[in-house]
């Protein structure tokens, strides 16, 4: 019944959107090639979108070409967030989707999407197009997005994908400027065709300018990354000895090269994770005693694991639910202190969030903002990771937590984009999923300003800070797992309830419409059949009368 109702809703919505398309075609603007392509990709060609497309100017084709693929990547998460009847979502969920997309596809942590205050939702209530204010040449688009969201009351998946495409295109143009600088530094003209050896020199110089010296692999590894990027851009036809490369060919290598950077970052991140897990305590919960954490630093005399208790608190990576504070490995690895800065003031490169693939798997299976405890239990017992072997049996304490979460909601299900559920995921996958903060800061906190002002570490300072920290962050639980019984939802419960109420009413309306149309067609058909029968009878009667009176 639910599937049938959903299919009917989609059909009626598609029919309504088709009417919008047919009635909104403008022969003047339709002459532009990119506007035609824009119309073909989206079923809602509003004037606001047309204005955005026209405001992009020469970059419109490049931007709009990115949108369909970005939409596909975002769709898995989008369908699990509460939207209104027109498939639009509010500021917070829109920012969440953007954050998830950039982290998964490029490992970018957009600074404007990070939590900058004690309450993440003070920044999440900002409109998602606020991120354009930090990008050169696209700030004027914020006014158009503001107009767009105000008129239609939120953002569709195409709107968010368009916003992400504008960001990516802006960064691509910034990268092109840096490549031209590398050409100038090496005294090579942009009109020259260069050998592969010179391409390696140019792209190595570009990489040094873009990333800095501190975050690069060895030169031989970098050369292999550059070659793989060139192969991705131009196929297997390249010959290192014979091929010559124009400036446009070299430029086309930039994006695949930059997309390969996460694999460089992940090598260091996963190595540090393994080192931390080698010190894991006996609970097998992805935690390291603070004494072991400090001893490892002192024993190896390395620059790794140098954080003090203040640092760990700033990145939400300390657990004080037991007698001795412990470092939460998954929080440590995903903290903002692990991110690498580039020449861009717009984003940093961060470690892979191993919980994101798990969330995507769940989102694909559920395709709803809500899930039953049975669905979640099946997911957690059958989906494994490098540290979780399946099939398995969840601990009764976690099953009880799930049932309590469902029982505390009037709709009897669990919001999968909520703090309590993120807390469950952490205990189900402790070495992949972070323990959530009280305010459910799904984006890392921008703690660079805090970390710059920290005093030198001392045992006395640590003890004082721990006492203060434990007073303000007391975790409640059943003695087996730390649990903070506070919930925050990306889409509040009231909106989820309203979403279902709207869906039910719309389903009823859709069925009423189908019944009305069907009944009308049947009546028309019956009337037509009756009319046809009457005409046949009349014709037969006339023929009989004519024959009887010899009218022929």
DSSP 8-state secondary structure symbol assigned to residue 418:
B
Q: Closest Cα partner for 141 from 157, 122, 164, 173?
A: 164
pLDDT at 163: 94
Mean pLDDT by 10 residues, the chain (552 residues): 44 38 33 38 52 82 92 93 78 91 90 62 72 88 85 86 94 93 94 93 89 57 84 79 89 89 81 93 91 79 76 88 90 88 82 92 94 96 95 94 89 89 95 84 48 37 42 45 72 53 61 70 62 55 50 39
The predicted pLDDT at position 435 comes to: 92
Integer Cα distance of 438 and 118 in angstroms: 10
pLDDT in the model for residue 57: 82
Residue 414 is predicted with a pLDDT of 93
Domain spans of the chain, in order of start: 2-173, 355-494
- What sign does the CA torsion over 302, 263, 315, 109 have? positive
d(CA 434, CA 425): 8
Tell me how far apart the alpha carbons of residues 300 and 316 are, in angstroms, rounded to a whole number.
25
d(CA 352, CA 105): 10
Helix (H) or strand (E) holding 483: strand 482-483
C-alpha R_g of the chain:
30
φ, ψ at 319 (rounded to 5°): -120, 120
CA distance 541 to 535: 10
> What's the CA gap between 16 and 262, in Å, rounded?
42
């Amino acid at each position: 019944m639910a599937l049938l109702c959903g299919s009917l809703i989609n059909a009626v919505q598609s029919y309504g959107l088709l009417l919008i398309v047919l009635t909104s075609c403008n022969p003047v603007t339709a002459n532009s090639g990119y506007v035609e392509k824009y119309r073909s990709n989206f079923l809602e060609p509003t004037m606001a979108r047309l204005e955005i497309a026209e405001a992009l100017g020469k970059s419109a084709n490049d931007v709009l070409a990115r949108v369909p693929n970005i939409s596909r990547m975002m769709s898995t998460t989008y369908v699990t967030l509460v939207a209104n009847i027109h498939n639009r979502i509010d500021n917070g969920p829109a920012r969440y989707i953007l954050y998830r997309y950039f982290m998964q596809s490029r490992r970018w942590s957009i600074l404007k999407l990070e939590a900058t205050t004690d309450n993440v939702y003070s920044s999440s209530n900002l409109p998602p197009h606020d991120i354009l204010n930090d990008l050169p040449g696209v700030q004027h688009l914020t006014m158009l997005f503001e107009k767009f969201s105000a008129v239609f009351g939120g953002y569709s998946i195409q709107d968010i994908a368009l916003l992400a495409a504008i960001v990516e295109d802006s960064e691509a143009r910034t990268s092109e400027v840096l490549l031209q600088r590398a050409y100038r530094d090496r005294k090579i003209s942009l009109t020259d065709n260069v050998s592969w050896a010179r391409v390696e020199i140019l792209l190595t110089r570009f990489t040094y300018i873009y990333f800095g010296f501190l975050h690069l692999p060895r030169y031989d590894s970098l050369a292999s990354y550059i070659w793989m990027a060139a192969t991705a851009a131009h196929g297997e036809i390249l010959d290192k000895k014979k091929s010559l490369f124009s400036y446009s060919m070299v430029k086309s290598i930039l994006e695949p090269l930059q997309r390969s950077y996460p694999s460089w970052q992940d090598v260091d991140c996963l190595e540090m994770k393994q080192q931390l897990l080698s010190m894991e305590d006996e609970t097998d919960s992805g935690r390291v005693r603070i004494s072991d954490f400090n001893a490892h630093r002192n024993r190896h005399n390395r620059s790794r694991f140098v954080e003090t208790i203040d640092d760990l608190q700033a990145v939400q990576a300390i657990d004080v639910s037991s007698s001795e504070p412990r470092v939460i490995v998954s929080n440590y690895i995903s903290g903002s202190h692990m991110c690498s800065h580039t020449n861009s003031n717009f984003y940093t490169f961060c470690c892979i969030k191993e919980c994101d693939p798990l969330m995507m798997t769940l989102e694909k299976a559920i395709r709803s903002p809500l899930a039953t405890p049975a669905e979640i239990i099946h997911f957690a017992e059958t989906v494994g990771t490098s540290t979780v072997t399946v099939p398995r049996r969840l601990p009764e304490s976690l099953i009880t937590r799930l049932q309590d979460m469902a029982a505390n909601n009037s709709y009897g299900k669990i919001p999968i984009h909520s703090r309590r559920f993120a807390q469950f995921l952490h205990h189900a996958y402790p070495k992949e999923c972070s323990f959530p903060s009280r305010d459910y800061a799904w984006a890392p906190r921008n703690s660079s300003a805090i970390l710059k002002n920290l005093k030198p570490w001392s045992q006395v300072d640590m003890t004082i800070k721990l006492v203060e920290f434990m007073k303000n962050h007391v975790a409640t639980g059943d003695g087996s797992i730390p649990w903070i019984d506070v919930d925050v939802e990306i889409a509040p419960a009231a909106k989820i309830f309203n979403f279902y109420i709207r869906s039910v009413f719309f389903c009823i309306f859709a069925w009423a419409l189908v019944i009305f149309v069907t009944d009308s067609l049947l009546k028309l058909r019956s009337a037509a059949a009756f009319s046809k029968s009457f005409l046949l009878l009349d014709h037969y009667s006339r023929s009989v009368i004519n024959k009887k009176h010899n009218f022929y």
